[in-house]
Structure 1
Amino acid sequence: MSCNANDIVVLDFETTGLSPLQGDRAIEIGAVRIVDGVAVDRFQSLMNPGFKVSGFISQYTGISNAMLRQAPPCAEVMDGFADFIADSNLLAHNASFDKRFLDAELAHIQRRYRGEFSCSLLVSRRIYPAAPNHQLATLLNYANIAADGDFHRALYDSEMTAKLWLALLQTIGERCGLQQVPFSLVKKLVKVPKKSVADFLAQW
């Protein structure tokens, strides 16, 4: 498990709803493996949850029931994704949502992961406090990162989150005078009150 924040698996789920506790399931996983700040591997698959998704979800994601009927079952996809994660640290935008679904889907197949999660949304609130909001598309525009694909598809969202993450790490590194930003720094940063961020980074 790397101690650097730029060695990480960035992931994103598309789902049937908001909560696995309410019976919602994942319908797509996308992930990008970042090693030393470079995307070196990707994982993407639709997955069949075993029931039809609503018209709202189909419209929101662009994932139809016809597409899902031909997809492998969740268990098969998540078993492969657990192998892909290995012992890497993990990142998502609004990570509490994706972590809930990762935990739930892996619990169905008795698999676990060893890495720790961080959240690009929480970090962005501290590094880009002047952004109009902290949705992924808004932050990419705010940071002048080109985005021309389809949001709400898992691999594209994870790739864009990875680009945002690397921009955030560059800013953190410049403020701290660091070539490599430790994962432990970002884990602490998300707990720092926004008004104290400048002092925290200056003292690191």
Structure 2
Amino acid sequence: METVAVIDFETTGMSPELGDRATEVAVVIVSDGKISSRYQSLMNTGAYIPPFIEDLTGISNEMIRQAPPAAQVMKELADFVGAAPWVAHNASFDSRFLDAEWSRMGHRREQAFACSMLLARRLYPDSPNHKLGTLVRFLGLPDTARHHRALADAEMTAHLWLRMVSDLKNRQGLDVVTHEFLRALQKVPKAKLPAYIAKFAHAA
């Protein structure tokens, strides 16, 4: 199984375009079918954390004031991940914050994102919904019991990613399931999914 980097941000809000900033980031590296290493850090961007976000995440303004500068954290993150492709649950959210924080230090993302939420909608249509916590319970995955903290959510997403790769191999008879294939699969209409997977299996 190829190496991927599973990322999760905690933030002051929903949109970097509206001035929201990251408060915490975590990445777990998945290789050889397991989590092989982890990086996690709070990060001081100078942004104010609203009370409802503080209640949701448990990350306080005082904690952020004592955290390392955002530029230092994002440089360490880049060094840690290297060239590994990205995975996130609701990747449109995490990719925008990653790009925004990296752009402030003159760094540009080259690796593509795969979205475990979009994939789960196609692979697990019977799940009550496709929030990360719901999928963890629905599939019986390891639950860190500390949702809305970056490392906990990144680890749960990593277990979900491994489960999706395993299910595609075991249920669909695929010998190899690549990040590139899953990025394509997440865009395929549900009705066309069986034909697309069969075509990939035949080509492989």
Letter in 1 for 2:163: A
1:186 alignment counterpart = 182
Q: Distance in 1 between matches of 2:91 and 2:190?
A: 19
In structure 1, the residue corresponding to 2:142 is in which secondary structure? coil
1:19 alignment counterpart = 15
Q: Deviations over 1:23-72 (max 9, x none)?
A: 11100001100112121110000011213211011001000111111001
Q: Distance in 1 between matches of 2:181 and 2:47?
A: 42
- RMSD value, Cα: 1.2
* Count of residue correspondences: 200
In structure 1, the residue corresponding to 2:154 is in which secondary structure? helix
Letter in 1 for 2:27: A
Contact 1:17 1:57 in 2 (8 A): yes
Q: Deviations over 1:118-174 (max 9, x none)?
A: 000000001001110000000011111131421000000000000011001111112
Shift of 1:182: 1.7
Matching of residues 73-152 of structure 1 within 5 Å: 73-152=69-148
Q: Which has the higher contact order (CA 8 A, sep 6+)?
A: 1
Same amino acid, percent of matched pairs: 47
TM-score by length of 1: 0.94
TM-score by length of 2: 0.94
Q: Distance in 2 between matches of 1:95 and 1:148?
A: 20
In structure 2, the residue corresponding to 1:132 is in which secondary structure? coil
Q: Distance in 2 between matches of 1:119 and 1:109?
A: 25
In structure 1, the residue corresponding to 2:6 is in which secondary structure? strand
Shift of 1:187: 1.5
Structure 2 spans left out of the alignment, 5+ residues: none
Matching of residues 1-40 of structure 1 within 5 Å: 6-40=2-36
Residue 164, structure 1, aligned to residue 164, structure 2: no
Q: Distance in 2 between matches of 1:74 and 1:11?
A: 16
* Misfit runs of 4+, over 2 Å: none
1:154 alignment counterpart = 150
